[in-house]
Amino acid sequence: MASSSFFFFFFFLLFAAAATAASSNPNGYMHLRFYNHERILGSGPDATVVYAVERTSSSSGAGFGNVIVYDNLLRAGVEPDSPIIGRNQGMGVGSSLAENSGLTNFQLVFTAGKYNGSSLALQGLFPVAPLGTVFERAITGGTGKFRLARGYLLTTEVRATNTTLTGQLDAYITFR
């Protein structure tokens, strides 16, 4: 009887330790903040956003049927000289007849730091909205340290000039 009590107590301790470890696992959830630095349309040969197809003339680029391709820098901070941590590579399609939003499909590819070699896959609507507007897109997967990631990305455009647009990206990531 004593040995069965010992085994029960032993397995109870193992189960409790495993449950505690699982609930405190730092890889189950994370919040990352970084900044998308974009050279906007019409800013010369070094623009990071280009039209692949311009079906509808639009000052915002999101005209219905337009296809936009981009390869923007991801930086650690809002300043243009802050460290580069990766790239935002993807495309958008003007998907609204009212010309106020586009569907985006893109990858955040990390090329430096703790997440070097990993990426996040995202998709969702990108509304044409005033500076400071917050909008959300879905994190649909990832590679490397973000394998099986799910979650959402909140984007806020925080700075605009005649040639650049800077967005704050807050990624809320969960893992299976």
Average pLDDT, the chain: 81
The answer to whether position 54 is within a domain reads yes
pLDDT digits (tens, 9 = 90+) for 61-81: 567 888 888 999 999 999 999
Quick check: is 141 in a domain? Answer: yes
CATH of the domain at 65: 2.40.480.10
Q: How many domains does the chain have?
A: 1
Domain assignment of residue 20, yes or no? no
Give domain status of residue 117, yes or no: yes
Q: How far are the Cα atoms of 2, 34, 58, 155 from residue 12, in angstroms, in the given order?
A: 15, 43, 65, 45
Q: What are phi and psi of 150, to 5 degrees?
A: -140, 160
Q: Is residue 13 domain-resident?
A: no
Domain contains 6: no
Q: Answer left, alpha or beta for residue 15, where phi above 0 means left and psi between -120 and 50 means alpha.
A: alpha
What angle (nearest 5°) sits at the alpha carbon of residue 104, between those of residues 79 and 57? 90
- Please report whether residue 65 resides in a domain: yes
Give the structural domain span for 50.
Answer: 29-175
Q: Is the pTM of this model over 0.85?
A: no
